[in-house]
Amino acid sequence: DPLTGLPNRRAFETGFPQALGLAQRQHPVALVMLDIDHFKGVNDRYGHGVGDQVLLALAQSLKVLTRRADLAARLAGDEFAVLLPDIDTAGLDAWYARLSDHFRSELNAFGLDLNTGLSAGQTWLSDAPGDTLNDALARADRALYQAKARGRGQLVQDAAPGADAAE
């Protein structure tokens, strides 16, 4: 992605089969969809230049908090996705808390005092045959919408690791 320096949707799609292969070999792999809360309002009120800084703050936070085995990408607009192999629910909660805190710190470093945060939806890649990128994104997206419906600024997990998440 030219703005954020993160992989784009195409790169995410290219990396997905490797993550799915890990899941099929009994490694837990979390897929997290992230969305910047009230991003349209930031763009409308402060302009696209500030919106770009907000996107950069999230991208920088993801770069700092992802491991070499993880894959963080900007899919479109303010929609980001992260594949996190070999993590459990407690680790996922801790990662999200660190990400939220780091994002706020990055906004402050840019001098932005904005009423925004991160909503996130998570699903586990299934070890059952037939799980696809579109299926996994749809599950994570449903969890993301639940996070927004519950008041934003939180992570909603779709199912426990090891649960059959294929639909």
Residues forming beta bridges with residue 1, ordered by sequence position? none
Asked whether the beta carbons of 33 and 80 are under 8 A apart, the reply is yes
From the candidates 35, 70, 78, 131, give the one annotated as an active-site residue. 78
> Can you tell me the mean pLDDT for 39-48?
91
Task: Look at residue 161 and tell me whether its pLDDT is greater than 80.
Answer: no
Whether 130 has a pLDDT exceeding 90, the answer reads: no
| Residue 165 in this model has a pLDDT that exceeds 70 | no
Distance separating alpha carbons of residues 135 and 150, to the nearest angstrom: 23
pTM (two decimals): 0.91
User: What percentage of residues in the chain have a pLDDT greater than 90?
Assistant: 81
Active site annotation includes 78? yes
* Beta-carbon count within 10 A of 108 CB: 12
Query: Mean pLDDT, to the nearest integer, of 111-129?
Result: 89
pLDDT at 162 over 80: no
Neighbours of 25 (CB within 10 A): 9
Identify the residue whose tokens are 């997990």: 157
Residue 155 φ/ψ region, left for φ over 0, alpha for ψ in the -120 to 50 degree band, beta for the rest: beta
Residue 88 has pLDDT above 70, yes or no: yes
Q: Which amino acid is at 77?
A: G
